[in-house]
Homo-oligomer: A and B are copies of this chain.
């Protein structure tokens, strides 16, 4: 038990944010062996973001032990503010998933069961809706291996990242399936085709979380002045390092320098389940040297974020989400989409800055970004 429990409370005004730390109960720490690990956090930006979801300049909090990440991402944010359209962010898709696995007598029975289950989508959706106000079934996938039938449920989950919501839905669906198809046997509530917090191809191809493309056009002048580089150098580095280097390293659906750094910092600061940086890190940089400048993009097919749910509900995180404008009264899901888009823009700023630094021999070590890695 803490001698004096504390709360990190924020007194917040847009023009003059103030942070006050007060000794009050914070995480309902009931046991002597509970405490807090404080992660250094800085607001960087603002980042200029455009697109269908956000059109604003927004500062973002990054919680990390790798403090050189702050000035580096900050440099990218500075560039965004000087680009006419800033970081353009587009949401391609969103869904949350959980897979179950059941055992049939053989492959024939597994296949027949699947075809029958697949044809009863409406009933499955009705089961899902009993488990949560927000959960909706929007897709089904299957894999059959011998006598094993893996079924992957894809759901809408409102503003939550939805881990628990889809687990609840899957639990109900599995119960329903086992009762409707008595010849099937329980194998596992999670069949690893979900897949949560593990490297895979399935999440990128079938979708899990928000799929966001962030891109930006940067003039040659801006490349030179702010990033000390050229469009050609960035495009070539992306080819040689991220694409070819990544490929020979045996990377899987992944071509970037350090998406994971920005994701981790953003996830921790906004109360996300940061182990989801694993699938989040499987994304792509695509860069083109164009006549006028650099086309630079970061594609993040698996951003698993929510503005409500576990990890939220303490003053620090809530204050961060509030400042990000993700606790406002919007249609269901809009706060989470906003959060995803801001996250993607943050990733782009940090990725651009590190790649620019790596185009120049010695710069990574020389500059104040020297501890930054990727």
Contacts and interface: CB of A to CB of B under 8 A. Distances in A.
Given A174-B361, A244-B255, A201 B33 contact: no
A229 interface: no
A120 interface: no
Interface string A187-212: 11111111111111111111000010
Q: Could you say which of A17, A251, A256 has the most chain B C-beta atoms within 10 Å of its C-beta?
A: A251
Size category of the A interface is 35 or more
Given A61-B37, A144-B92, A198 B243 contact: no
Contact of A240 (B101, B175, B271): B101
Interface string A260-274: 110110001101111
A257 to B, nearest CB: 7
Interface in A279-319: 281-282, 284, 286-288, 295, 297, 299, 310-311, 314, 316-317
Interface stretch (A121-129, A160-168, A325-333): A160-168
Contacts of A35: 8, 10, 19, 41-42, 61, 316
Judged by DSSP, the binding face of A is mixed
Contacts of A358: 188-190
Contacts of A320: 37
Interface string A107-147: 11011001000000000000000000000000001011111
B107 A299 contact: yes
A225 interface: no
Contacts of A362: 171, 175, 189
5 contacts: A6-B6, A107-B299, A146-B287, A197-B281, A202-B250
A198 B260 contact: yes
Contacts of A18: 3
Contacts of A272: 65
